[in-house]
Amino acid sequence: MKMLFSSPQSAEVGLLKDLLDKAGIPCEVRNENAYSNFPGAAFYPELWILNDDDFAKASQIRDTLCGTSSENLDSWVCPACGEKSEGQFSSCWKCGADRSADTK
C-alpha cells in the first residue's frame, strides 16, 4: 500500500479517486475529514493505492491530472497578437483571441 497523492484541496483528491475508480485501481482516501475537524492542521486528505502493482499506472493518471491543471495555470502567448496572458484566462486580454487557437 502506497500513498499516491496528497492535497489541501479535498476536491482534487476526490477527482483523482474518481479517475482511479474508473481505471479499476483500488484506492482509499485517508484524512478526508481531518481538515475540517482541525482547521489549520497540516493533515491533508491522502489518496492511497491498495495494490503496489497498480502504483505505476496510478502515478501516470495522477501526472496526467496534475500536469493538465498546472499547464492551465501557466502563462501563454496569444497566437494572434503575441501578447502574454495569465493561465487563468482562456482568451487574450488584449485582442480576445481564443487560447485554444494555440499550438495544441
Q: Which of 33, 86, 94, 98 binds Zn ion (CB under 5 A)?
A: 94
**Residue 36 grid cell:** 475540517
Query: Any residues with CB less than 8 A from the CB of 94 and at least 6 apart, and which?
Result: 78, 81, 83, 85
58 within 8 A of 3, measured Cβ to Cβ: no
Q: Binders of Zn ion among 66-85, rule CB under 5 A?
A: 78, 80-81, 83
Least distance from C-beta 67 to Zn ion, angstroms?
25
- 92 interacts with Zn ion by CB under 5 A: yes
- 95 interacts with Zn ion by CB under 5 A: yes
